[in-house]
Amino acid sequence: MTFGAVKRIPISALATVALGFATPASPNEYRDNPPIVIDRVAEKQFLPIGELESVALITKNGKRFQLFGTGFLVSPCYIVTSFHIVFHVLEPEPGKDYSMKFHIGVAQNSAFLGSTKAIPVKWGCIGMAGANDWAILKLTTCIGARPDFGWFESADIPPGWLTGQHVAVAGFSGQNARGILSYSEGDVRTWDSPGHMLKYSASENEGQSGSPILMIIDGDLRVVGVNQGTLRADGVRDKSQFETYADDNASLFVPLADVLNRLDIKAMLDADKKLVGSHNLRFTTACFLMSQTHCKVYTQPPDGTNIEAYDPGTGHWSKTGDAAWIHPHPAVNLPNRDR
Domain coordinates in residue numbering, the chain: 7-273, 294-327
| Rounded Cα distance, 255 and 265, in Å | 15
pLDDT of residue 286: 61
What is the CATH architecture assignment of 7-273?
Answer: Beta Barrel (2.40)
Query: Which pTM does this prediction carry?
Result: 0.79
Can you give the pLDDT at residue 206? Answer: 72
pLDDT of residue 278: 67
The predicted-structure confidence for 56-82, as pLDDT tens digits, reads as follows 877 767 777 778 899 999 999 999 999
Q: Is the pLDDT of residue 256 over 60?
A: yes
Q: Does residue 289 register a pLDDT over 60?
A: yes
Half-sphere exposure of 14 (CA within 13 A, CB side): 25
Please give the pLDDT value at position 177: 75
Cα–Cα distance, 106 to 131 (Å, whole number): 31
pLDDT: which is higher, 155 or 271: 271
Indicate whether 106 pLDDT > 60.
yes
Supply angle C-alpha 6, 9, 10, rounded to 5: 150
Please state the rounded mean pLDDT for residues 143-153.
87
| Local confidence band at 2 (pLDDT 50, 70, 90 cut-offs) | very low
145 pLDDT higher than 80? yes
The residue among 37 and 23 whose pLDDT is bigger is: 37
pLDDT at 194: 63
pLDDT above 80: residue 119: yes
User: What is the pLDDT, as a whole number, of residue 295?
Assistant: 52
Q: Is the pLDDT of residue 88 over 50?
A: yes
Q: What percent of the chain has pLDDT over 70?
A: 70
> Residue 223 — pLDDT band, cuts 50, 70, 90?
very high
- Say whether pLDDT at 277 is over 60: yes
More reliable by pLDDT, 88 or 228: 228
Can you tell me the mean pLDDT for 127-156? 86
Q: Which of 35-49, 83-97, 229-243, 255-269 has the lowest mean pLDDT?
A: 229-243
Task: State the chain's mean pLDDT as an integer.
Answer: 74
Phi-psi region of 273 (alpha: psi -120 to 50; beta: other; left: phi over 0): alpha
- Look at residue 262 and tell me whether its pLDDT is greater than 90: yes
- Name every residue whose Cβ is closer than 8 Å to that of residue 188 and which is 6 or more positions away in sequence: 162, 163, 164, 165, 167, 198, 199, 200
Residue 104: is its pLDDT beyond 50?
A: yes
Q: Is the separation of the CB atoms in 28 and 169 below 8 Å? A: no
pLDDT at 233: 63
What is the reported pLDDT for 308?
43
Q: Is the pLDDT of residue 314 over 70?
A: no
Looking at residue 259, its pLDDT comes to 92
pLDDT confidence tier of residue 238, bands split at 50, 70 and 90: low
